[in-house]
Structure 1
Amino acid sequence: MPITATDIETLLRKNFPDATITVQGDDGAHFAAEVIDESFRGMNRIQQQRAVNATLKEKIDSGELHALALTTKAPA
């Protein structure tokens, strides 16, 4: 069964429970996600995106999640 936007959001919520998370995409392989979380404060974008990718590593490594465009930031 292909991964869904809801699956991705559920995985992200495990490591970023208080984040504002939006995941879009419905083809089962290509998604866009925005993660806004206080834990990103003081991190550069590469560090932020690495933190998100670490959460999804298993799905990325297995090929179940093929492409994810990320937007990450700390709250304003």
Structure 2
Amino acid sequence: MLPSDVKALLESRIEGCEFHIQGEGCNFQVVAIGDVFEGLSPVKRQQLIYGALSEEIASGELHALSLKTYTPAQWQNAPENTNA
């Protein structure tokens, strides 16, 4: 699986989010930015992403995910944001 595959899956399953994906094979780092995370705990945010990829995780297509989730306001000051 390629980062572009993971991005396409997430974009088709979670609306209104921007995704930055790195990795290869079955191990990926996901940075997700969206209003959908507003008011959600860190655990609920991760559950949203894992839930969107549950089929691929269950099948073994995806094995390890490193997740970072931000609201657009949080993203403005995030260390991963190279435009900050």
Q: What TM-score, normalized by structure 2, do the two folds share?
A: 0.81
Distance in 1, matches of 2:29 and 2:9, equals 14
Query: What's the CA shift for 1:73?
Result: 1.7
Task: Output the CA distance in 1 between the equivalents of 2:43 and 2:56.
Answer: 20
**Whole-angstrom distance in 2 between the partners of 1:4 and 1:54:** 19
Runs of 4+ in structure 1 deviating by more than 2 angstroms, as ranges, are: 15-18
Cα drift, residue 53 of structure 1: 0.4
Distance 2:66 2:72 in 1: 19
Q: Pick from 19, 22, 25 the counterpart of residue 21 of structure 1.
A: 19
Query: In structure 2, which of residues 6, 9, 20 is the aligned counterpart of residue 11 of structure 1?
Result: 9
Q: Which has the higher contact order (CA 8 A, sep 6+)?
A: 1
Q: Which runs of 5+ in 1 are unaligned?
A: none
Count of aligned pairs: 73
Q: Specify the alignment match of 1:52 in structure 2.
A: 49
Partner amino acid for 1:4?
A: L
Cα distance in 2, alignment partners of residues 12 and 29 from structure 1 = 15
Q: CA RMSD in A?
A: 1.0
Query: What's the % identity of the aligned pairs?
Result: 34
Larger radius of gyration: 2
Question: Which position in structure 1 is the counterpart of 2:81?
Answer: none
